[in-house]
Chains A and B, each alone.
Chain A
Amino acid sequence: MKAKANIVIIGGGIVGTSLAYHLACLGIKDIVVLEKDYLAAGSTGRCGAGVRQQWGLKMNCILAKESIAEFEKLSEMIPTDYDLEFKQKGYMMLAYDRNMANQYKKNVQLQRTLGIEVDYLSPLEAKAIVPHLNTEGMVGATFCGKDGHLNPFTTTLTYAIGAKRLGAEIYKGTEVLDMKLEKGKVSKVITNKGEIDTGLVINAAGPFSKNIAKMAGVDIPVYSERHQILVTQPIKQIQDPMVISLKHGFYCQQTPHGSFIMGFGDPNELKGTDTTSTWNFLEEMAEKVLPVLPPLKNLKVVRQWAGSYNMTPDAQPILGNSEDVENFYMAVGFSGHGFMIAPAVAKAISETIVGKKPTVDISMLRLKRFEAGNLIKEPSVV
Chain B
Amino acid sequence: MKDNVIVCRCEDVTVGEIKKLVADGINTPEEIKRITRMSMGCCQGRTCGGILQQILSNLLNEPVDEIKLWEKRPPAKPVLMKALIGGDTDES
Residue positions of A touching B, CB distance < 8 A:
38-41, 45, 81-82, 153-154, 157, 172, 231-233, 257, 277, 279, 282-283, 285-287, 289-290, 296-305
Contact = CB atoms under 8 A, between A and B. Distances in A.
Contact of A287 (B28, B73, B85): B85
A297 B81 contact: yes
Given A153-B35, A302-B44, A282 B80 contact: no
A366 to B, nearest CB: 34
A300 B35 CA distance: 23
Contacts of B35: 82, 153-154, 157
A39 to B, nearest CB: 7
Contacts of B88: 297
Contact of A232 (B20, B74, B81, B87): B81
Chain B, interface residues (CB within 8 Å), range? 20 to 34
Contacts of A302: 40-42, 44, 75, 78
Secondary structure dominating the interface of A? mixed
B2 interface: no
Given A302-B40, A302-B42, A302-B44, A233 B78 contact: yes
A296 B73 contact: no
Given A231-B40, A298-B81, 17 more contacts: A38-B28, A81-B20, A153-B35, A154-B35, A257-B37, A282-B75, A286-B82, A286-B84, A286-B85, A289-B81, A290-B81, A301-B80, A301-B81, A301-B84, A302-B78, A303-B73, A304-B74
A251 to B, nearest CB: 16
Given A279-B74, A283-B85, A303-B73, A45 B34 contact: yes
A38 B31 contact: yes
